[in-house]
Amino acid sequence: MGTLPTGSVEKAASSREEILRKLRERIVRFAASKIQRDAAEDLAQEVLIVLHEKYRHLERLEDLFPLSLEIVRFKLMAHRRKAQRHGEYTQIPVDGIQVTDDGPDPLMAAEQSEMRERLIAAIAQLGDRCKKMMALKLEGKSFAEIRVILGAASINTVYTWDLRCRKHLLELIGGSWESGR
Amino acid sequence: MKNEEARKLLGGYATDTLTASEQRALFEAALEDQELFNALQDEQALKQLLADPGSREAIQRELKQSAETRRSPWWSSAWVWGGVAGAAAAAVLIVAMIHQNRPAARSAPVEVASAPKPPDLVREAAPEAKQLEKPPARALNGRSRGPEKLKPLTTGSLAPRAADQIAPSTAPAPPSAISDQPSTQAELREPLGAAPAAGFVAATPTPLQYSLERRGADGQYSALAANAGLIAGDAIRIVALPSVSGSLTLEQLDASGGWNRIGQETAVVANMRYPIPDSPIEVRGNAEKFRLVLVPASPPRAKAFARRAESNAAASVTNVVSPFTVDITIEPGRVR
């Protein structure tokens, strides 16, 4: 990456700050719909700290946005686990606590496996066009390419088809990709 | 791009279908629209699932299978129709053959009954013949055609010799000799790992197999040969082969009907051989009953679920783990 002129650096920094500010606002509101407000504030703060400390070099929205979504998801999962571990109703003796191993988290693996099964079952109930679209998307085709393959008049038609398919799939799976969320 | 339009791109986020410009439009819209942001955040779970190559492949496989099924509906396949036609033809053939053969089989008494016999013998044989030669209704409707022809067969001229000939086919087969010869032991000497080995409940898969070993004069144990019978005084031991890990015990039935444990409980690892008990079992003159009990260790996944579940779920996990038992009767000449 070449050296940016002073003005550009300032502009980029302010742009990054602006993106992070908006992200924080969205994250707090999203998290507050899932957990308590003060915990949501803390969670958003933790996400920003991670973005600031580990991903200081990222400035573009296309990089920061998906990254923040991923961090929020992990933080929320950790929060739920922590709450369950510390909760009065789930207190267990020290002897019962298992030592963490380096392998894949069995809980996450089990959840992912469960979600995969539900998704496969739901996909089987989709209509032909939706199945075809899903297959093409998983093959890595863009919406423009899908438009050509499916013979749609415009790309907006493809967007609309995809939106409907997603909505139908979400309904079939129970309203949320993750069970019990 | 307006927020409403950007919302339509939501479905492309998890599958990485969006181009750079579509992605940017979606993210910019989501920064301004909390609902869209929430939807994208929820979509993250799906994105993470699809990022896993195994999951992605499984879903693609499902879609591919579905597409193949769709491409060739079952009624349009020539082989399906060929198969159906073949099956129908075979069914017709079988029915025709059954109809043809059944009356022929029943016609044997007709020939016997037609032999001329002295009237006194016929009278003596008549009640027996009635009992033995009562044909089922279906046979009556077959070749014999009507009661007027059957009447002389069953009540008219059936000789005692005819009854003898009929008897083997109608009377129940004599009970086969139940052997307690060493031949029954051949079942026992299935190699370890073969399923099911002798001593197991038939047709019930079990995670516990065993074989027997006899101690020789030199103190070494060797597998009991297929044709070798046990005699009183033999010293034997059981070699258990569990296919799941857990704890293994050997119990013996005492005179009062209670099971007593022999030796210590042994922690076992799946697919390893475990000779049990430490000191050999001496074959006595009478039958002795032993029982192998395998308590499987709780499955790791069940533990993982138990960790996140409520206390009642923990109870259900313990229900998953139930012991497996195999009863063995050892007596001179045989093992059951």
Chain B residues lying within 8 Å of A146, measured CB to CB: 17
ipTM: 0.79
pLDDT of residue B29: 93
Same domain, yes or no: B228 and B262? yes
Q: Which residue of B17, B41, B58 is in closest CB contact with A72?
A: B41
Is residue A34 within 8 angstroms of chain B, CB to CB?
A: no
Task: Kindly report the average pLDDT of chain B as a whole number.
Answer: 67
CA distance to partner chain A, nearest, from residue B84 (Å): 27
Same domain, yes or no: B197 and B315? yes
Same domain, yes or no: A20 and A81? yes
Same domain, yes or no: B207 and B278? yes
Same domain, yes or no: B320 and B293? yes
Chain A residues lying within 8 Å of B304, measured CB to CB: 106-107, 110
- Asked whether residue B111 is domain-assigned, the answer is no
- Can you read off the two tokens belonging to residue B217? 């004069």
Number of independent structural domains in chain B = 3
Same domain, yes or no: B192 and B323? yes
Structural Rg of chain B based on CA atoms = 37
Count CA within 13 A, CB hemisphere, residue A75.
Answer: 26
- Asked whether residue A179 is domain-assigned, the answer is no
CA-based nearest residue to B135, from B96, B100, B169: B169
Same domain, yes or no: B50 and B15? yes
B185-197, pLDDT tens digit by residue? 333 333 343 344 4
Domain boundaries, position A82: 6-90
- The phi and psi torsions of B13 (rounded to 5 degrees) equal -70, -50
Same domain, yes or no: A110 and A71? no
Give the nearest chain A residue to B310 (CA atoms).
A90
Q: Which residue of A112, A141, A163 is in closest CB contact with B8?
A: A163
Distance CA A133, CA B50 (A): 15
A20-67, pLDDT tens digit by residue? 999 999 999 999 998 888 889 999 999 999 999 999 899 899 999 999
Ordered per-residue pLDDT tens for chain B, 336 residues: 677 788 889 989 999 899 999 999 999 999 999 999 999 999 998 998 898 888 888 888 888 887 777 665 555 555 666 777 788 888 888 888 877 766 544 444 444 444 444 444 444 444 444 444 444 444 344 444 434 443 443 333 333 443 344 334 333 344 333 333 333 333 333 334 334 444 433 334 567 888 888 888 888 888 876 566 788 888 888 888 888 788 888 998 888 888 888 888 888 877 788 888 888 888 888 888 889 988 887 654 444 444 554 444 444 444 445 778 888 888 887 666
Q: Which amino acid is at B136?
A: P
Structure letter (DSSP) for residue A92:
-
Same domain, yes or no: A10 and A80? yes
Domain boundaries, position B273: 182-335
Distance CA A109, CA A115 (A): 10
- Can you read off the two tokens belonging to residue B129? 């013949």
Q: Enumerate the β-bridge partners of residue B252.
A: B260, B290
Same domain, yes or no: A116 and A168? yes
- Asked whether residue B93 is domain-assigned, the answer is no
- The phi and psi torsions of B326 (rounded to 5 degrees) equal -135, 125
Number of independent structural domains in chain A = 2
Is residue A166 within 8 angstroms of chain B, CB to CB?
A: yes
Domain boundary among B16, B40, B71: B71
Distance CA A71, CA A78 (A): 10
Same domain, yes or no: A10 and A86? yes
List the CATH number of the domain containing A160: 1.10.10
A88-136, pLDDT tens digit by residue? 445 555 566 565 565 667 777 788 888 888 999 999 999 999 999 999 9
- The phi and psi torsions of B144 (rounded to 5 degrees) equal -65, -30
pLDDT of residue B326: 86
CB pairs under 8 A between A and B: 139
Which of residues 6 through 25 in chain B touch A, CB cutoff 8 A? 7-12, 15-20, 22-24
- Asked whether residue A37 is domain-assigned, the answer is yes
**A159/B28 touch (CB, cutoff 8 Å), yes or no:** no
Same domain, yes or no: B165 and B190? no
- Asked whether residue A126 is domain-assigned, the answer is yes
Distance CA A141, CA A164 (A): 18
Distance CA B330, CA B184 (A): 12
Same domain, yes or no: B186 and B299? yes
* Torsion on CA atoms A59, A65, A67, A72, rounded to nearest 10: 130
- Asked whether residue B175 is domain-assigned, the answer is no
pTM of the model: 0.45
- Asked whether residue A96 is domain-assigned, the answer is no
Q: How confident is the model at residue A142 (pLDDT cuts 50, 70, 90)?
A: very high
- Asked whether residue B259 is domain-assigned, the answer is yes
- Can you read off the two tokens belonging to residue A82? 């922590």
- Asked whether residue B131 is domain-assigned, the answer is yes
B73-122, pLDDT tens digit by residue? 555 555 666 777 788 888 888 888 877 766 544 444 444 444 444 444 44
- Asked whether residue B39 is domain-assigned, the answer is yes
Is residue A26 within 8 angstroms of chain B, CB to CB?
A: yes
> Is residue B253 classed as helix, strand or coil in its secondary structure?
strand
Same domain, yes or no: A128 and A84? no
